[in-house]
Amino acid sequence: MAKAAEQTTTLIMPKATSVWLIENTALTFKQIASFTNITEIEIEALANEEIGRGLVGRNPIEHGEISKEEIERCESDSNAFLKMSKSNLPNVKSRSKGPRYTPVAKRGDKPDAIAFIIKNNAEISDAQICKLVGTTKPTIASIRDRSHPNTPNLRPRHPAELGLCTYKEFETAYNKGLKAAGKDPEAVKAELEAKQQAELEASQEEEDSSSSTGGFDFSNFMPDAASVFGDDK
């Protein structure tokens, strides 16, 4: 019985695979270009939607072209290059647990989401932002240093409210960032809740104090009785 042919070393849909890697990993353009045999210029153009607008990403993990571990290896080392998986077994399709493909209609919201995270959640790493929002490290850097072409119009908005991720995914990334910084997520959460409660109580006390004094004192503006009726002589 003849052996099954080894998996081909050429990607079937290199541009679609590039789109998926751009939006779902923290790999550099150079790493993606090397793996897909597409130039870095084309990869950057795909990332900026200058070409391939509306192109649906193709998950190379699901199609047995590369392993999740191999991607993670190269994400942690920008000088490493991806190696395509080889197998004599038929490809097994599995449901991806990674970030979903971002619809074209929502891609314009990504800069606002990135700006929100940079402003409010510094603990979340760039790699996590890439996965949450479906963006690239160069885009994050351009928003951080205000060189992004849409900087004057950015409106920081929560990525979950924009539909780019779920609140649970955002919380998971935030907690991971806190742990990486040596902080206890539960302790940070408790401290934040205590601070919010203190601010609420202070606001309530100020409101009660204002009510107890009867509001504005008009006595200084009331005419003196003697000046109105004259002295009784």
pLDDT in tens, 170-221: 888 888 888 888 888 888 888 877 877 887 778 777 777 766 655 555 555 5
| Tokens read off for 81 | 């290059």
Q: What is the C-alpha to C-alpha distance for residues 83 and 67, in angstroms, rounded to an integer? A: 9
Segment 123-135 shows an average pLDDT of 88
| Tokens read off for 86 | 């080889």
Residue 75 CA from chain centroid, whole number? 17
CA distances for 192 relative to 122, 202, 206, angstroms:
15, 15, 21
pLDDT digit string (tens) for 151-173? 899 999 998 888 888 888 888 88
Q: What is the pLDDT of residue 178?
A: 87
pLDDT greater than 60 at residue 8: no
Q: Where are the domains of the chain?
A: 14-75, 106-180
pLDDT digit string (tens) for 92-128? 444 444 444 555 455 678 899 999 999 998 889 998 8
**Residue pair 147/133 in contact by the 8 Å Cβ criterion:** no
Secondary structure E strands in the chain: none
pLDDT, the chain, mean = 79
Residue 8 CA from chain centroid, whole number? 35
* Degrees to nearest 5, angle at CA 32 with 30 and 37: 95
> What is the pTM (predicted TM-score) of this model?
0.45
Give the three-state DSSP class for 54.
coil
Q: Is 193 exposed, middle or buried (0-12, 13-18, 19+ CB in 10 A)?
A: exposed
